Amino acid sequence: MPKPADAAYHWNGDQVDLELYLHRIGYSGPRTATSAVLRSLVAAHTTSIPFENLEAVLGRPVPLDLETLQDKLLRQRRGGYCYENVTVFAAVLERLGFGVTGLSGRVTMGADGLRPATHALLRVTTTDDDRIWIVDVGFGAGPAEPYALADSPAEFPLGEWRFRLAREFGELETEQWVLHQFAKDGWVDRYTFTLAPQYRVDYEVGNHFVATSPRSPFTRRPFVQRFHPDAHHILDGRVLTTEHPDGSGRSRELEPAELPEILAKVFDIELSDEDTAALLRAPWALD
């Protein structure tokens, strides 16, 4: 079936600054829509661009137009959360000729109860095989490779990290997929997702809740992540944690004054003096 002509169905790949993006993630390989290139791009993106919600903590809007995102994530060398990362990555993939469809997930992390579908990820197809790939460059904790959509609960490694994908059935016998990850508490379900297509306008709605609602955890305290093949760094409020693929890790509580140095050295995020002062005046730092 041909793609709809309506631009709202597309990802603005013609507007992406491809040279700037590839320089930002340190990629200099082929520019073809193959599974090998997809794997390389996912690895470079997830280990180069940090996850962060600092604009929402500061009470600022988080626009999803491509030019704003390119300025923030590529020129300023800041980071973003799932909607920001996925919007940029989808535009790059579309520009290179991949088949790209947005998806939405519900982050569970082993919790009980129903959570809103506020995680963005991508369904991607390539020109060199018939597999369907799931790409998640916006979770902040990898995986640093795409994973194939396959109806098998078997464990699979992505780099040194361990995952399982299972197909289940939810309400009204609707199909859903569950990604499990191995972490410090053993196996835990990370999120569920369906294959219902999501478009840029759908991400705008989810993004508005995440960035502005007092019910959103992202408006209440900093949540910053930096992912590497052998370590995952997390700043959750004042708590700095480092986790490793074998489930080991360590945590410590920071003093607010340590935040600028930690953001720069651990997470590769450098804030202006004004933004740093505003962040340290926010309610989370005064509790």
Residues marked active site are found at: 82, 119, 136
From 255, 265, 256, 260, select the one nearest 275 (Cα to Cα). Answer: 260
From 140, 138, 195, 199, select the one nearest 165 (Cα to Cα). Answer: 195
Q: How far apart are CA 120 and CA 85, in angstroms?
A: 9
From 60, 11, 31, 32, select the one nearest 218 (Cα to Cα). Answer: 60
- Backbone phi, psi, residue 124, to 5°: -130, 140
From 66, 64, 68, 69, select the one nearest 95 (Cα to Cα). Answer: 66
Tell me the three-class secondary structure of 54-120, residue by residue: HHHHCCCCCCCCHHHHHHHHHHCCCCCCHHHHHHHHHHHHHHHCCEEEEEEEEECCCCCCCCCCCEE
* Tokens linked to 67: 């030019």
The amino acid at residue 181 is Q
